[in-house]
A = this chain, B = another copy of it.
Amino acid sequence: MSGGVEWGLHCCVALSGMTEPVPAAKLAEFHDVSPTYLAKQLQALSRAGLVHSTQGQAGGYALTRDAAEISVLAVVEAIDGPQSAFRCTEVRQRGPLAAPPESCTLPCGIATVMGRADRAWRDALAGVSIADLAADVGRNVGAGTLPAVRAWLSS
């Protein structure tokens, strides 16, 4: 999985509860990561419609909807792509004893199992929202953390 997913997730958490847009450069400085590369991830989020970008002097990125309405899965799919990790190459249709294509209307057992596993993975990710993650931060490292982050990003 692309490592930028983690950055995108952290950015969404930081953006949650933010009223004014935050520039990509500031988010990069806050997380201490490459500004240009983080910009790429944010562009992907923008293309997926999760964040809204405004240009100009006071521009930046902001969530398009409430953090409770954005699932972790949405962020992952926006950055990493919606395709499954497993890609069936239809091995059964190759070789000397290849099965004829007309008998391969439904996916083979291997693809079925992989598809089920992938679905379970996505379900687990879909059940958690950015708001849940933000609440977890307040619970684990202190309730005053998020307001402090918010103040830093505003300055």
What is A's interface to B at a CB cutoff of 8 Å?
Answer: 1, 3, 5-7, 9-10, 13, 29-33, 72, 85-89, 91-92, 94-99, 103-104, 106, 108-110, 112-114, 116-118, 120-125, 128, 132-133, 136-137, 140-141, 145, 148-149, 152
Contacts and interface: CB of A to CB of B under 8 A. Distances in A.
A110 B91 contact: no
B152 A110 contact: no
A116 B110 contact: no
A110 B133 contact: yes
Q: Lowest 3 CB-CB distances: which A-B pairs, in order?
A: A109-B136, A117-B124, A32-B94
Given A29-B96, A85-B1, A103-B141, A133 B117 contact: no
B109 A6 contact: no
Nearest to A85: B1
A38 to B, nearest CB: 11
A153 to B, nearest CB: 10
B149 A110 contact: no
B86 A10 contact: no
A96 B152 contact: yes
B124 A113 contact: yes
